[in-house]
Amino acid sequence: MSSIVIKDLSFAYAGSGRLILKDIDMEVEAGEFICLLGQSGCGKSTLLRLLAGLEKPMTGELLVDGRPAGGAGLNKGVVFQDYGLFPWMTAGENIMLALKQKFPGKDKKELKQTAVDMIRAVGLEESVYHKLPKELSGGMKQRCAIAQSFSIDPPILLMDEPFGALDAVTRARLQDLIRELWSEGEPKKTVFFVTHDVDEALLLANRIMVMGQSPSNIIYDCKIREEERADREHLFENAEIMKLRNTLIHQINKDIAVHIS
């Protein structure tokens, strides 16, 4: 399990001179499911890239378990909206690639069984192991990407709007799947899930952080106790959750109004 601390973090892409993130501060306990919520272009994906080690802060610190986060590594699983699967490799080979890197000493037969088990765990048939990404639907490819990330059992899972391009039914199924995989995992992974959908954040997270317009920082932060969470069926019937929903929407709209004016 991994705790994460960010102190006074600011970031601008090289040569742009425009700050994307400014003075970000947060402390995340190990095992929390964080949804980063905010409008498109507010820096959510940039913060995720910093957490993944794909970018470096301009100023400030990003600590994992009290140590500098460093670059990309197998202690972080990343799921992108575009699936991240190599098109010339089968779904199984994509998963095996990650497994071989994480467990170089394990027998290939054992790793293949792990890949097959994970494909089944995300609700796909074993035959998907032998299919190329082009032979799979968007939802199936995203399930394979989730299987790939969970198969290496990283303590930190980073998800960048992974369901944004999917139809409503597939999206709902995958939301339920990822929440189930997280809640049943032991120890629980520390999850950062980027979205601009308030309802998705309410369904998934036990903590929601709202990011303001660029240069962005955290403008609202709330925790949801497990016993207070509403499931999909009762989401709009729960008065407290609806109150929180309105608060989140208000925070986002208020921030937009300030920037427009």
Number of separate domains in the chain:
2
Contact call for residues 50 and 57 (beta carbons, < 8 A) = yes
Exposure string of 195-212, with b = 16+ CB inside 10 Å and e = fewer, is: bbbbebbbbbbbbbbbbb
pLDDT tens for each residue of the chain, 261 residues long: 678 999 999 999 887 778 899 999 999 999 999 999 988 888 899 999 999 888 888 999 998 888 877 777 778 888 877 767 899 999 999 999 989 988 888 899 999 999 999 899 888 999 999 999 999 998 899 889 888 988 888 899 999 988 877 888 888 888 888 888 888 878 889 999 999 899 999 999 999 999 998 888 999 999 998 888 878 888 888 888 999 999 999 998 888 777 676
Collapsed DSSP state (helix, strand, coil) of residue 17: coil
Phi, psi of 143 (to 5 degrees): -60, -40
The CATH number of residue 217's host domain is 3.40.50.300
Q: Do 105 and 191 share a structural domain? A: no
Whether residue 36 lies inside any domain: the answer is yes
State the pTM of this model. Answer: 0.89
Task: Compute CA distances 32 → 38, 157, 206, whole Å.
Answer: 19, 11, 7
Q: Calculate the dihedral angle through the C-alpha atoms of 83, 89, 94, 96, rounding to the nearest 10 degrees.
A: 170
Tokens of 139: 């939802």
Q: Do 167 and 70 share a structural domain? A: yes
Whether residue 80 lies inside any domain: the answer is no
Whether residue 98 lies inside any domain: the answer is yes
Q: Do 254 and 167 share a structural domain? A: yes
Q: Do 148 and 230 share a structural domain? A: no
- For 212, the domain range is 4-75+156-260
- Answer with the one of 93, 126, 153 that is the final residue of a domain: 153
Single out the residue of 22, 27, 25 nearest to residue 11, CA to CA. 22
Q: Do 172 and 137 share a structural domain? A: no
Q: Do 34 and 160 share a structural domain? A: yes
